[in-house]
Amino acid sequence: MKRRPQIVERILEALRASQRVCVVGHVRPDGDCVGSQLALALALQAAGKDVTVWNEDPAPTKLKFLDPDGLLRTPQPGQEFDCVIATDVANAERLGAVGPCVERRRVLINIDHHASNTRFGDINWVSRRESSTGELIYKLLKHACWPITPRIADCLFAAVSTDTGSFQYPSTRPSTFAAAGELVKRGANLGRVCHEIYHSFPLARMRLLRHVYLTFRLVDHDRIAYFWLRPADFARTGSTRADAEGLIDHIRAIEPVVVACVFEEVEPALVRVSLRSKSPYVDVNQIAGRFGGGGHAAAAGARIAGRPFSVQRRVLNALRKALDAMP
């Protein structure tokens, strides 16, 4: 590795001065979040730290193979930490119920790759150059000269692979492939990771996918595809909100579609919106930002208060304007 960047030195200095460490992630954790948390937690445990791993929500079923020991738990109030590390968290609100439980701390380290990151930590390592937070954690472990065991390699490979769309998104760079190759050298079980994440789904998720195929709509000359998910849809199919992860990619893949959108009714007057863009001229991070959300240019989201169809109208109008402005 090259000489340690100053920000990495600051992180390692803070960790050297800490014994009780809590690694936290965002609500509705995805592969990058879970993989980054677990990899960092395992490395810190091996370095002799007392480590706690918290998320508001459990890991999706397809990612539980990464955590056979059950390190990832729901937050408990009243605890005190020397250091809290937020991985893949774009802003403090994304911590959800974890936020109030980690206020008793000496230092908060924020490690993330989202363009919309608000730099809410005492120490912020935010880099848009990396494909994923997993790639940043990989670099941190390398700079620290901490062993990357096969189990850690599995977690990091899962993080990088899922956040790059299995190395298909524009964020994938030569350095991404180099990191992935090094993780395989370190023992990442490529076959198992890919099978668990991409080729093994619960039946309930397939029922939910059938709902998507039966109800999605195309508008604006087939440039926009969208569908709704409501509590009744999850109840009818026996699925959970975690099973909805990745369903947007099925409508994004339709050839005329430029932007895909999922409207998920969280509460009667609160809608979770997920956006995916296939065009470099349509930055969904900017669009999500208008509604208080964020993410990346090609993948972003927001939680929008309002009546469902009012939210739908506002979001679709914003997407139409962005599409009409394309060269």
- 260-283 tens-digit pLDDT: 999 999 999 999 999 999 999 999
> Which residues lie below 8 Å from residue 235, measured CB to CB, with a gap of 6+?
none
Query: What is the mean predicted confidence (pLDDT) over 296-311?
Result: 96
Residues of CATH 3.90.1640.10 domain(s) within the chain? 6-198
- 110-156 tens-digit pLDDT: 999 999 999 999 999 999 999 999 999 999 999 999 999 999 999 99
Q: For position 111, what pLDDT does the model report?
A: 99
Percent of the chain with pLDDT over 70: 99
Whole-prediction pTM: 0.93
> Dihedral of the CA atoms 132, 135, 141, 143 (nearest 10)?
-120
Residue 73 tokens read as 């738990």
Mean pLDDT of the chain: 97
| Distance from C-alpha of 311 to C-alpha of 80, rounded to nearest angstrom | 40
H/E element, 59: none
Residue whose token pair is 């402005």 = 325
pLDDT for residue 236 is more than 70? yes
The CATH homologous superfamily for domain 6-198 is inorganic pyrophosphatase (n-terminal core) (3.90.1640.10)
What does each C-alpha distance from 218 to 15, 114, 182, 259, 274 come to in angstroms? 50, 29, 42, 10, 16
Residues of CATH 3.10.310.30 domain(s) within the chain? 204-324
| Distance from C-alpha of 273 to C-alpha of 261, rounded to nearest angstrom | 7
- 34-83 tens-digit pLDDT: 999 999 999 999 999 999 999 999 999 899 999 999 999 999 999 999 99
pLDDT for residue 248 is more than 80? yes
> Which residues lie below 8 Å from residue 111, measured CB to CB, with a gap of 6+?
11, 36, 85, 86, 87, 88, 125, 126, 133, 136, 137, 140
Q: In which band, very low, low, confident or very high, does the pLDDT at 3 lie, cut at 50, 70 and 90?
A: confident
Q: For position 4, what pLDDT does the model report?
A: 83
Q: For position 1, what pLDDT does the model report?
A: 55
Percent of the chain with pLDDT over 90: 97
CATH for 204-324 is 3.10.310.30
Q: For position 2, what pLDDT does the model report?
A: 66
Q: What is the residue type of 65? A: F
